[in-house]
Amino acid sequence: MIGDPSPANKLPPSPPQISYVGGELTVVAKNSTLSDVLKGIQTAIGAKIEGVTPTDTDRVFGQFGPASPQAVCSTLLTGSVMAVAAGLLPLGILSQLVSIGSLLAFLLVCIGVVLLRKTAPAVERPFRVPWVPWVPILGGLSCLAQMVSLPWSTWERLLVWLVLGWAIYFLYSRRHARDLRLARDAPTEVALT
């Protein structure tokens, strides 16, 4: 019989304090995944508002609960997709996908902060990042360093999802969002009677 080759079997048992910290970190990681579900819901609602989803999806993305301003159908749909993914994918792959996606989003935010501060300095902001450009540059570099430490297979999956998202955007959503903006901005005739 071959024993388990993992190095965890060769380590002495950890003190209870370390086990407690490990449990706390697990709770934090689960909350991070929950925040990704919420990002999916916000993305679905934003896509509906911008008009990049088909108009017949109003009943899914445009429905809100009767007693609260929550997008019930979007929440159920996004939560179901995340639950299926969590049940089918190995935890290591899932955590790497969540990590690289979140890190890429934060990297883009850091770049956007510097660009917007240069191109639109007069725009009123509820929060202004201090010490620009140093804080966004350091934030972007730390995100990039963590992304580089992820395995190549994670980068391949990220590229596949990015290409799929760009294809949907450029083949369908961009044109429909432009048409919706043009319809919104078109002057309406008012009948004077």
Domain assignments of the chain as residue spans, ordered by start: 13-88, 90-175
Which ranges of 53-90 does DSSP label H, i.e. alpha helix? 58-61, 72-88
Contact 140, 110 (CB under 8 A): yes
pLDDT over threshold 60, residue 156:
yes
- Residue where the block lists tokens 């190095």: 7
Highest-pLDDT range among 6-15, 70-79, 106-115: 106-115
Q: What count of other Cβ atoms lies within 10 Å of the Cβ of residue 15? A: 9
For residue range 94-137, what is the model confidence (pLDDT) as tens digits?
Answer: 888 888 988 999 999 999 999 999 999 888 888 888 999 999 99
Residue 89 CB contacts under 8 Å (≥ 6 apart), including other chains? 97
* 97 closest CA partner among 155, 146, 141: 155
18 has a pLDDT exceeding 80:
no
Amino acid code (one letter) for 33? T
Alpha-carbon torsion (30, 111, 43, 68), positive or negative: positive
- At residue 1, the pLDDT reads 46
- % of the chain surpassing 90 pLDDT: 27
